[in-house]
Amino acid sequence: MGTILCGIIVFRADSDYTFEQSNEALGGTITAAIVLSIVVLLLIALMMVGFGIGHLVENFKRSKGTLLGLLGFFVVLFISWAASGDEVLRAYGQDITPSVSQWIEAGLIMTLVISALLLILIFVGEIRRLLS
C-alpha cells in the first residue's frame, strides 16, 4: 500500500504544485490512498490487539508474567505522569498545550526510570551469575 502511494505521489504529481493542487489534478487519488492506508493500519492494529487478548485468555496461567509486565509498565507510566509538570515555555510554540507538555515530560521520566531499572537488573543478574 505504501509503495503504491509513493508511486502515485512521485510519478503522477508535479513537484511545482502544492499537495492540494496535485491531489485535485489526480482526482483525489492521493487522499483516497492515504485514507485507505489509515483504514488498513487501524484494522491491522485491531487484529493485533484481538489476537493478543485471545492468547491471554487461552493461556492465562502462562500469561501471568506478561500481565504483570503490563501492570508494571502502567504503574511506571502513572507515576511518571504524576511527577511531570505542565509548564509550557514560549520557545515551544503555539501547538504545545500544558497537557501535551505533561505527557512529553512523563515520557522522558518514564524512559529514565525504565532505563535505570534495566541497568539495575543487568547488574544484579551479573552478580548472581558470578556468585553461582
Q: pLDDT for 8-39, tens place per residue?
A: 666 665 566 666 666 676 666 667 777 788 89
| Same domain for 66 and 13 | no
Q: Residues 80, 106: contact at Cβ < 8 Å? A: yes
pLDDT, tens digit, for every residue of 40-79? Answer: 999 999 999 999 888 888 888 888 888 888 899 999 999 9
Domain that holds residue 77: 60-132
| Same domain for 66 and 50 | no
Distance CA 117, CA 79 (A): 14
Distance CA 61, CA 79 (A): 28
| Same domain for 52 and 84 | no
Radius of gyration of the chain (CA): 23
| Same domain for 129 and 98 | yes
Total structural domains in the chain? 2
| Same domain for 78 and 26 | no
Phi and psi at residue 99, to the nearest 5°: -65, -45
